[in-house]
């Protein structure tokens, strides 16, 4: 079972099943919605998804017909989205998860839309916390 929550903790979710088709999406819509270079999304069967708490803390936004994004109205964290033409599954932002997952991303998508400063395979330094200059 996977568990997750929004940034402020008012929305809690649980997944009792697998996460499929995990991708790093670089499209302009995912970049704008996440405020980052890309969004990591995966699909979950609707019957495996439980909104444990915070149902009334969710707000929604529809940018395209039949597509609804659900997010916490307090902290703004994207929680999940749904395609009303594919009601069996929901799309989850994996950054929401608090527990490790078994599944792994399968691809980078919409790479021609990627942020011009994003180098997907860059060999940048990696730190466990802030970069040394910021640590105090």
Residue of higher predicted confidence among 136 and 20? 20
Q: What is the pLDDT of residues 108-125, one digit of tens each?
A: 999 888 999 988 777 767
* Whole-angstrom distance, CA of residue 136 vs CA of residue 130: 10
pLDDT at residue 129 tops 80: no
Structure confidence at residue 136 (pLDDT): 57
pLDDT at residue 132 tops 80: no
Q: What is the three-class DSSP state of 14?
A: strand
Residue 70 lies in a domain: yes
Total number of domains constituting the chain: 1
Q: What is the CATH number of the domain that holds 108?
A: 2.170.150.70
Phi-psi group of 37: left, alpha or beta (phi > 0 → left; psi -120 to 50 → alpha; rest → beta): alpha
Give the pLDDT band of residue 46 (cuts 50, 70, 90).
Answer: very high
Name the residue among 3, 98, 74 with its Cα closest to residue 44: 3
| Residue range(s) defining the domain that contains residue 105 | 2-117
Q: What is the mean pLDDT of the chain?
A: 91
Q: What is the mean pLDDT of residues 55-73?
A: 94
Kind and range of the H or E element at 33? helix 28-34
- pTM of this structure: 0.86
Residue 130 lies in a domain: no
Phi-psi group of 35: left, alpha or beta (phi > 0 → left; psi -120 to 50 → alpha; rest → beta): left
Q: What is the pLDDT of residues 68-105, one digit of tens each?
A: 999 999 999 999 999 999 999 999 999 999 999 999 99
Residue 136 lies in a domain: no
pLDDT at residue 47 tops 80: yes
Q: What is the mean pLDDT of residues 39-61?
A: 96
């Amino acid at each position: 079972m996977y568990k997750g929550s929004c940034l402020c903790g008012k929305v809690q979710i649980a997944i009792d099943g697998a996460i499929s088709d995990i991708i790093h999406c670089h499209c302009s819509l995912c970049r704008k919605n996440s405020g980052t270079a890309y969004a990591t999304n995966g699909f979950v069967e609707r019957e495996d998804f439980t909104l444990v708490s915070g149902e009334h803390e969710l707000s929604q936004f529809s940018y395209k017909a039949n597509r609804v994004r659900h997010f916490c109205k307090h902290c703004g964290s994207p929680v999940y989205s749904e395609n009303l033409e594919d009601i069996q599954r929901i799309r989850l932002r994996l950054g929401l998860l608090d527990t490790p997952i078994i599944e792994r991303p399968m691809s980078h998508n919409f790479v021609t839309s990627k942020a011009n400063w994003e180098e997907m395979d860059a060999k940048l330094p990696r730190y466990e916390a802030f970069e040394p200059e910021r640590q105090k």
